[in-house]
Structure 1
Amino acid sequence: MRPAILMGGACAVFAFACTPAFAQGTVTLYGLLDAGVNYLSNAQTGRHDGKLEGGSKYSLEDGSTGGQNGSRWGLLGTEELGGGWRAVFRLEGGFTINNGALGQGGAEMGRQAYVGLASPYGTVTAGRQYDFIATRVGTLAASTQWAGYISGHASDVDNFLHTRRINNAVKYTSPDYRGLSLGAMYSFGGVAGSVGHQQIWSAGLGYANGPFTFGAAYLNARNPNLSFYGSNPSAGTSVASMNTGSVGSATSPESNPAYAGYASASTLQIAAAGGAWRLGPVTLGATYSNVQFRGLGDTATSGPNPFGYSGTATFNVGELNIRWQLSPAFLLGTAYSYVHNGGADGRDSAIYRQGSLGADYLLSKRTDVYSIVVYQHASGTDSLNQSAVASISGQTASANNHQLAVRFGLRHRF
C-alpha cells in the first residue's frame, strides 16, 4: 500500500469534509487493480443425458477469480490518543474490474471493515475481518505470493486465500516480541436463545526472524454453511441454502465440487501450519492443513444434505513451493500441492494433485506484468458423489478429471 492522501486535523478526502479535530491522525487512500486474460480447458457448460459437458474457455478476468489479487480500494486510518494508544480503522471494498460490479457478493466494504484500538499491549479490532488461517499460514502459500487465486487448494478448501471473511468478529493481535506474535478472534453468532449457534473462533501465531518464517493457526465455525460460507450479502440465509457450492444442472456448471456436498456439516474445523526458509535469492516454503466437515447430516440448523452424508469428511492438504528472485524486478516460482479428501460414511475418497508455475516482472515500483500456469488432476469420488472432476480455484469446474488454467495479467497499485 502507498499513501495517496494524508489527513491531519481538519482536512478532506474527495468531497467529504472533516470537522476540526485536535488529536493527530492520518487517513490513507490506497488501492489495487488486477486485470488479465485467462484460458481454461474443459470448463463445464452443463449436463446432457446426465453427463457433464465442457469446452475451452477464454475470458477477461479480474484478479479476484483468475489472477494475483482482487481489485480493491480502501481507507486506512489512525488517530493518536496519547500514552502509546491509537484509534485505528480500515474500510476496504472489492470490485470486478471487468464491469465495475461490487465484489464479495455485493458488499460495499466486503473485503474488510473494522475499527479498533492499538496500544503497547496489542490491538483489538471489531467488524468484518480475516481469520488467522489466512493471515498466519495462507501468506506462506504460493497462491498469496506469486501464483494467484487459481493456484489455491481445490476451490480454496482451507481458506488460505481468505475467500471467506468473518463477520461480527472481535480480534486481538499481540505486539511483536522478538519476532513472535499471537492472536485470537471470536465471531458472535447473534442467534437468540443459542450462544453457540453460528459462532466462529480462531487463534494463531506467527514467527519471523532472519531467514526463517513460521505460522500456525486454528479455526472452528459452527453451522458453517450459514456462518462461514454464508458471510456475503448474496448468500442464502436459510438452512435450505447451499452456500458451500452447487451441484449444477443441464444449463449451469457445478461450483466447488470438492466440498459443495458438505453443506449439512454442524462444524467446520481447520488446523494449519507452514514455514519458509530464505537462502539468498531462493525461498523454500511448505504448508499443511487439516480441514474437517464434522457432524454431517445437520439439516435442521446447518444446511441441505442431498447425498445423505453423516459423520466427518476430512481433507489433508500439503504444499511445497519455491520462489526465486532473479533480480529486484524479476521473480520466478513453482509449487506442487496434494489434497486428499478421505470421504464420509466410508465412501470412496478423492485426490487432487496440482502443479503451478509463475513469473512476475516489475515495470515500476507500482506496476507489474505476470503469467501463471496451473494444471490439476483429480481422481476418486468427490463430495457430489460422482467421479471427481478437477476444480481449480475461482474457475468453472472441469467436465472431467483434469484441467489447465493459464493467465497473463497486469497489476497496478496506488
Structure 2
Amino acid sequence: MKYVSTLLLPAGLLVSAGAYAQSSVTLYGVVDAGIAYVHNAKSSNGTNQSTLVKFSSGNVSGSRWGLRGSEDLGSGLSAVFQLENGFNVGTGALGQGSREFGRKAMVGLSDRTWGTVMMGRQYDPVVDLVQGLTEDASFGGVFATPGDLDNYDNSLRVSNSVKYVSPVFSGLQLEALYALGGVAGATGNGRTYSFGAAYSNGPFSFGTGYFHANGGNTNTAGVRTWTGSSDTLFNTVVNQGFASAKSIQIARVAGQYVLGAATFGLAYSNTQYGADGMSSFRSTAKFNDGSAFVNFQISPVLRTGVGYNYASLTGPASAHYNQVNLGADYAVSKRTDLYALVGYQKASGETLSSSGALVSAQASIGSYGVNSGTGTQALAIVGMRQKF
C-alpha cells in the first residue's frame, strides 16, 4: 500500500556526533476508516443471511504506523531498517495476529550498485512487483480476488526471511526471497521461497512472480496447523476448506497501460493448494483467476475506477466466482481523501467445507472477509483516509 512520510527525526537523537551525517529515521502512517453496508452476511447463528452495517477500518489502505531509517556507511553502502505496525482504527487492536510489527520488521544493507539485502518479516517479491499493477493499489482489497485466495491484497507476509532486491536496470528490477522453516532435521518443512521481475517503460508496466510456501509439521493429533514461515490465506468460505493444505503455490502476472487520463490493467493468477496424507482433501485444489480494471482521473482531485474479477476452482471441487467493483476517490488535500467503494459477487458450483465435505459455494467479496452464507453478496463503503 502507498504511504507518505513527513516527519524526519534528527539524526543526532539516534547516533553520536561522530556518526555519518546522512543517517535519518522517518515516522509515517495511514489512518483509514469508514462505514460499511453488507447485503448477505452470515448471521451469528450461522444459518441465516442478514444485512450488516459496521464500522470498517483499513478499506483502501491498511491502517498503520511505522519507522524506517538508513545510515550512510560510505562508498554507496547504507544500513537500512523498517518496522511497521498494523492496527484497527475502530478498536485500537493490533492487526496481523496481534503482532507488534506484523506488517513489516526488517534490517538490511543497501548498495547503490549491487542492490539491497533485507532480513526479517516482509513482503514477498510477487507482492512487491505485481500487486502495485492491480486495482488493489488504487482502491484496496474490496477489488481483490474472492477471499484473497491468491494474496492479491497482501493477506500474508513471510517471517524469518532473507530478500534480495536489485537496482533498476533500464526499467527492469528483480527480486528473490527465501525464508527458513526452522524445523530440525527437515529443512524443507515450513520454508518459503519466491522470486519475481518487473519492467516499466513509459506508459507501460509489467510484473510477474512465483511464490511457494510449505505449511510445516502437524500437531500431536496429526492435524496441520500451518507452522510455516509464511502466513496463510484461508480466511473465508472461498478457501477455508483447504486450510489443511501442505503447500501454497502462486504464480501471478499483471500489466497496465496509461493512456491520457485513463489507466487500463489486466492480471492473471494460478493458485494451487497442495495436499498430502494429513490434508482433509486428496487432490490439488487449483484456482485460476483473471481480472481487469479501468481508472479515470476525471480531475486533479477526483479519480474513479471499475474492475471485474473471475475465479474458478478445479480439483476436489468445481466453483465459479464473478465479481464487479466500482470505486471513487476525492482528494481533499495531499494527505487526506474521501472515498466510496461498491462491490457485488456471485458464486456458483461447489467447494469444500473445513471438514472436507462438498458444500455450495458462497460469496465473499475481495479480501473484506465477510462470509455471505449464500451465493451472492453486495457491499458498499464510504470513508476517509489520512496519511502522515
Q: Is TM > 0.5 for Structure 1 vs Structure 2?
A: yes
Residue 52 of structure 2, aligned match among 43, 57, 80:
57
Q: How far is 1:7 from its partner?
A: 3.5
The reply to whether residue 380 of structure 1 matches residue 352 of structure 2 is: no
**Is the CA contact (8 Å cut-off) linking 2:192 and 2:212 kept in structure 1?**
yes
Residue 148 of structure 2, aligned match among 156, 163, 170:
156
Partner of 2:242: 262
**What does the per-residue CA deviation read over 1:129-183, in whole Å, with 9 as the maximum and x for residues that have no partner?**
001221211112212212x222211110110211110000000010001110001
Partner of 1:397: 371
Of the structure 1 ranges 217-226 and 21-30, higher mean CA displacement relative to structure 2 is found in 217-226
SS in 2 for 1:106: coil
Calculate the TM-score normalised by the size of structure 2.
0.92
**Is the CA contact (8 Å cut-off) linking 1:225 and 1:263 kept in structure 2?**
no
Distance 2:8 2:133 in 1: 31
Distance 1:30 1:224 in 2: 35
Taking the TM superposition and a 5 Å limit, the aligned residue runs for 1:124-273 are 124-146=117-139, 148-223=140-215, 239-241=223-225, 255-273=235-253
**Is the CA contact (8 Å cut-off) linking 2:261 and 2:297 kept in structure 1?**
yes
Q: How far is 1:276 from its partner?
A: 0.2
Distance 1:383 1:41 in 2: 23
Q: How far is 1:6 from its partner?
A: 1.9
Partner of 1:26: 24
SS in 1 for 2:43: strand
Partner of 2:107: 115
Structure 1: gaps (5+ residues): 13-17, 227-236, 247-254
Inter-CA distance 135–356: structure 2 relative to 1 (3 Å threshold): same
Distance 2:18 2:309 in 1: 52
Partner of 1:45: 43
Q: How far is 1:262 from its partner?
A: 1.2
**What does the per-residue CA deviation read over 1:226-258, in whole Å, with 9 as the maximum and x for residues that have no partner?**
9xxxxxxxxxx9845378688xxxxxxxx5111
Taking the TM superposition and a 5 Å limit, the aligned residue runs for 1:231-380 are 239-241=223-225, 255-294=235-274, 296-299=275-278, 305=280, 309-344=281-316, 348-380=317-349
Distance 1:123 1:245 in 2: 28
**What does the per-residue CA deviation read over 1:18-60, in whole Å, with 9 as the maximum and x for residues that have no partner?**
5545112011100100000000011001557xxx312000001
Code of the aligned partner of 1:330:
L
Distance 2:164 2:203 in 1: 27
Distance 2:384 2:243 in 1: 36
SS in 2 for 1:10: helix
Partner of 1:231: none
Structure 2: gaps (5+ residues): none
Inter-CA distance 35–142: structure 2 relative to 1 (3 Å threshold): same
Partner of 1:4: 6
Q: How far is 1:298 from its partner?
A: 3.6
Inter-CA distance 338–410: structure 2 relative to 1 (3 Å threshold): same
Number of residue equivalences: 373
Inter-CA distance 244–76: structure 2 relative to 1 (3 Å threshold): closer
Inter-CA distance 77–364: structure 2 relative to 1 (3 Å threshold): same
Taking the TM superposition and a 5 Å limit, the aligned residue runs for 1:99-114 are 99-114=91-106
Distance 2:291 2:216 in 1: 25
Q: How far is 1:3 from its partner?
A: 3.7
Output the aligned Cα RMSD.
Answer: 2.0
**Is the CA contact (8 Å cut-off) linking 1:197 and 1:222 kept in structure 2?**
yes
Inter-CA distance 245–145: structure 2 relative to 1 (3 Å threshold): closer
Calculate the TM-score normalised by the size of structure 1.
0.86
Inter-CA distance 238–132: structure 2 relative to 1 (3 Å threshold): farther
Distance 1:245 1:78 in 2: 32
**Is the CA contact (8 Å cut-off) linking 2:40 and 2:373 kept in structure 1?**
yes
**What does the per-residue CA deviation read over 1:192-218, in whole Å, with 9 as the maximum and x for residues that have no partner?**
111110100000001111000000000
Using the aligned pairs only, state the percent identity. 40
SS in 1 for 2:19: coil
Inter-CA distance 76–21: structure 2 relative to 1 (3 Å threshold): farther
Partner of 1:234: none
Inter-CA distance 370–21: structure 2 relative to 1 (3 Å threshold): farther
Distance 1:278 1:30 in 2: 29
**What does the per-residue CA deviation read over 1:250-302, in whole Å, with 9 as the maximum and x for residues that have no partner?**
xxxxx5111111123222110010100110000100000000012x1442xxx
Distance 1:317 1:224 in 2: 26
**Is the CA contact (8 Å cut-off) linking 1:324 and 1:332 kept in structure 2?**
yes
Distance 1:388 1:350 in 2: 6
